[in-house]
Every structure is written in structure tokens, then in C-alpha cells.
Amino acid sequence: MPGANRYRSHNLVLLSFFSLTCLFQTSCGDTGEQRTSFKMAVSAPDDMGTDFENDLGWKVVLDSASVVIGPIYFFSGEPLFSMSRLLDWLDPIPTAFAHPGHYVAGEALGQVLDQARIDLLSEMPQVLGTATGVTGLYNSARVYLKPAGDDTYSVLVTGTATKDQDHVSFKGELDVEIKLEGLPCGIHVEPGKAGGMVMFVDPRIWLKRVDFSTLAGPDQDGYMFFEKGTSNHSAFSRGVDNAGAFSFSWK
């Protein structure tokens, strides 16, 4: 994979894509809000390559990373948890730590009802669909990851992990619906604003705490895998559930 160059071209593609997008907006009475629609795309973060080292010292090279995303809903309520350090380069938004049961979504502002399988290693941004709603501060988001269509998984990742003399060809797969609540968004959707929204998903976070030396297998394809009920399956599923893997921007 060409690394940084890939992502410069990535941004140019997004820019040109959204520059062709026409926002549709009409007045919504005297509330100050206007109906709007905009394109919603999903991508890996700009700084992501295919290889990285996780917290346990495993050097990981990804061969594939897919996630089935949608629908997405946007709300006025404060995010559930603090902004990830990964988001520092984005527009600053308030940080918040939650209290069990105290998340308040607030007003529903927008939604993307489409659902699509997103290849996070693609050199092209993936268009999820069209968001519809009203203008305003999209402060937090609810995102669903769930199997759809021919896909039996919500998250699928394959690759090779290396540590000292150990080389592990692995496959991680989750077949359950995952609802991520109160993700930090912090984007002002304004009347006539050019461009569209991008949700970044970082699959490196999924594998951040996995000890590849204790995976089960191999399966019929030769992959070591995350067996349900094990600490590694827990580490993987908790990684997918980590809000730090998700961020939003307007481009």
C-alpha cells in the first residue's frame, strides 16, 4: 500500500466528490433550523497504514478490514465519552465523561438510513449514503454495526501478527449487532455548507489489546481465530466497541 500518498489522493477524491454534491435545504418554519441533506462517506483515518504495533508488542499487518455500517443517527446531546486523542486534529468539541445511564441524546437532527459494507483498506473513500435532517450542531452520533445482506458479520479483519519468533495468521470476525451510543461528532451542519461528512473508522483500535499467541485454531482456511468466551475474543469485541476508533469530520 502506498501509505501517505494514498491518503493525500484519498482527501482529493473526497474533496472532489463532495464538491459535486449539491446540498438540498429548505426553510423549516421559524425555528432557525433548515431541512438539509448531505453525502456521508466512511474511511480509515488519514494517518493509517496497514501495519502497526499493538499495546502488547505485536507487529500487525492487515490484509483486510471490513465493517458493515448503518444506520447512523445524529443528535444534539453531548457525547457520551471524552474525545479521543485521535481526534485532536479535528475541530475541538467539549469532552464529557458519562455516568451509567445518564446519556441524554437530545434532539434528533439527522440520519443516514443506508447500510453498507465498508472496506477500510480501500484506496477510495466509501460512500455510505445520503444523510437527511435539519441544520444544527450534530454533537453526538449513534452508529450501528450489524450483519446485512450476504454479509454474516458486522466486523471482519484478517492479517498477520508477529512478535519475536511467533508469526500468527489471524482472522477476527464478529457476527453480532453492535450499537455505539453517544459518539463524539461535534460538526455544525450549516445552511449551504459545501462538502459532506466523513466518518473515520480505525481498525487498529480493534486489535490494540489482543494477545495473538493464544488464539484458537487454525480454521479450515488456516487462520487462527478469536474463540467466543476467551479473553482474546473479549479484547477484540471491546476494541470494536471503543469510541476511540470512530471520529467525524466535514470535508
Partner 1 sequence: MKGKSFSKMTWVAGVPALLMIFSACGDSGTGGTGSGELQVTTWGEDYIENNIPASAFEDGYSVKYAKFMIVLGNIKIADHSGDVGATMSGQKVFDMTLKGPHQVQDFKNIGAKRWDRVSIEVKPAGADTQAGNDIDAKDLALMKDNGYSFYVQGEMTKGQSSKTFSWGFSLSTEYKECQRAPEDGGEVGVSVPDGGTAVLQFTIHGDHLFYDDLASPDAVLRGDAIFSSDKDQDGKITMDELDSVDLSSLPENEYGTGGAPDVYTLADFVKALSRTVVHFQGEGHCHSHVED
Using CB under 8 A, list all residues that contact partner 1: 55, 78, 80-82, 84-85, 94-103, 180-183, 208-209, 231-235, 237-238, 241-244
Q: CA neighbours within 13 Å on the CB side: how many for 12?
A: 7
Contact 41, 128 (CB under 8 A): yes
CA-angle at 86, arms to 80 and 88, nearest 5°: 85
Q: Which three cell numbers stand for residue 58?
A: 505485536
CA R_g for the chain: 19
Provide the minimum distance between the beta carbon of 97 and partner 1 in the complex, in angstroms, as a whole number.
5
Distance CA(95)–CA(84), nearest Å, equals 9
Provide the minimum distance between the beta carbon of 156 and partner 1 in the complex, in angstroms, as a whole number.
19
Q: Which is nearer to partner 1, 181 or 191 (CB)?
A: 181
Q: Which is nearer to partner 1, 34 or 237 (CB)?
A: 237
Q: Which is nearer to partner 1, 127 or 183 (CB)?
A: 183
Provide the minimum distance between the beta carbon of 230 and partner 1 in the complex, in angstroms, as a whole number.
9
Provide the minimum distance between the beta carbon of 81 and partner 1 in the complex, in angstroms, as a whole number.
4
Q: Which is nearer to partner 1, 57 or 94 (CB)?
A: 94
Provide the minimum distance between the beta carbon of 105 and partner 1 in the complex, in angstroms, as a whole number.
12
DSSP H or E segment with residue 205:
helix 203-206
Provide the β-strand partners of residue 26: 35
Q: CA neighbours within 13 Å on the CB side: how many for 111?
A: 7
Contact 111, 129 (CB under 8 A): no
Provide the minimum distance between the beta carbon of 227 and partner 1 in the complex, in angstroms, as a whole number.
12
DSSP H or E segment with residue 188:
strand 178-189
Provide the minimum distance between the beta carbon of 219 and partner 1 in the complex, in angstroms, as a whole number.
21
Contact 248, 69 (CB under 8 A): no
Q: Which is nearer to partner 1, 67 or 235 (CB)?
A: 235
Provide the β-strand partners of residue 166: 163
Q: Which is nearer to partner 1, 18 or 103 (CB)?
A: 103
